[in-house]
Chain A
Amino acid sequence: MANFTSEDEIKELLKSVCSPVAPSPEFRDQLLQDLTRGAEGATRPRWRQPRVLVPIAATLISVAIGYGIWLGQAVEATLLP
């Protein structure tokens, strides 16, 4: 009879107590769905996340428009006698 004095006996005991268990299929499917949905947002670099990307894009567009206006005025000024 085992006295659990050897490592093998402890291993056997713990393996019998901690047998492998699978999660329920519902939980499994739901979590996989949540993870794949959330993965892109979570692993995207910070600058590509919408709350960072949108202000950056807005700033760049504003600068481009501003530069266009300034350039238009500057060109107009040089063309005038």
Chain B
Amino acid sequence: MADSTSTIDDAQFIKDLRHGDPSAVTELYNTYADRIYSLVFNQVDRDHDVAEDIVQETFVAALKSVAKFRNRSKIYTWLCSIANKKVADFYRRRKRQAKYQTKALEPDQISSDTLAPDSVEPKERQEDARQALSSLPLHYRQVLILKYVEEMPVLEISKIMERSPKSIEGLLTRARKELRARLAIPSEG
């Protein structure tokens, strides 16, 4: 199996992928499936079933649109962009189908007297943090995960989220502020 942190960005590989070479498809999958799965899983409240569906949709869409891939970004960036769109589609669909009532997704239901990090055990604090992250609007969650979990530079995030780097900086500031507020932590500045 390929190293999950490696990247494959050479032109020949893309060419093979466009021609439907099964070994290229396998390489793409083995290199990126776990990373994409993790990325999606953390955006959908750690729901394995939903993550599996979205990862499947992501790879199917990627293979369908590989002919349009112009090597302007890294393959991983391109896959992240597709995955992020699929996550957004999922939430749109879910919202449309039923005015769902998932506790984790309802910001208003997060306890306003959330304990400050000083007074709770690490595990409990982690749970609070997880809940706070889940309660954020999707674009805040996505930008925070891409920046701090995936450790991507702003420029790359801007390609994934199809916004200008400046807009991403602003989004990050607002997302951090909102996360702190939901963790009941005094904001910076």
| Chain A residues in 8 Å Cβ range of B185 | 3-5
A31, chain B: closest CB distance, angstroms:
6
Contact pattern, B 58-98, Cβ under 8 Å of A = 1, otherwise 0: 01100110110000000000000000000000000000000
Contact pattern, A 1-29, Cβ under 8 Å of B = 1, otherwise 0: 11111010011011111101111100110
Can you name 23 A-B residue pairings with CB atoms under 8 Å? A1-B117, A2-B117, A3-B117, A4-B179, A4-B183, A4-B185, A10-B144, A11-B151, A17-B130, A20-B35, A21-B38, A24-B48, A24-B52, A27-B52, A31-B56, A35-B60, A39-B63, A40-B22, A42-B20, A42-B63, A42-B64, A43-B66, A44-B20
A44 to B26, CA, bound (A): 17
A7 to B188, CA, bound (A): 10
Contact between chains at B63 and A35 (CB < 8 Å): yes
Contact between chains at A17 and B133 (CB < 8 Å): yes
Asked whether B180 is an interface residue with its Cβ less than 8 Å from the other chain, the reply is: yes
Asked whether B167 is an interface residue with its Cβ less than 8 Å from the other chain, the reply is: no
Further contacts, 12 of them, CB under 8 A, given A1-B118, A11-B148, A18-B42: A21-B42, A23-B51, A28-B33, A32-B29, A35-B59, A35-B60, A35-B63, A36-B25, A36-B26, A40-B22, A42-B64, A43-B19
- Interface of A: prevailing SS: helix
Asked whether A68 is an interface residue with its Cβ less than 8 Å from the other chain, the reply is: no
| Chain B residues in 8 Å Cβ range of A28 | 33
Which one, A3, A24, A35, contacts B25 given CB within 8 A? A35
A28 to B1, CA, bound (A): 12
- Which B111-162 residues have a C-beta within 8 angstroms of A? 117-118, 126, 129-130, 133, 144-145, 148-149, 151
| Chain B residues in 8 Å Cβ range of A22 | 34, 37-38
Contact residues of B with A, CB < 8 Å? 17-22, 25-26, 29-30, 33-35, 37-38, 41-42, 46, 48, 51-52, 55-56, 59-60, 63-64, 66-67, 117-118, 126, 129-130, 133, 144-145, 148-149, 151, 176, 179-180, 183, 185-186, 188
| Chain A: interface size category | 20 to 34
Contact between chains at B60 and A3 (CB < 8 Å): no
Contact between chains at B37 and A18 (CB < 8 Å): no
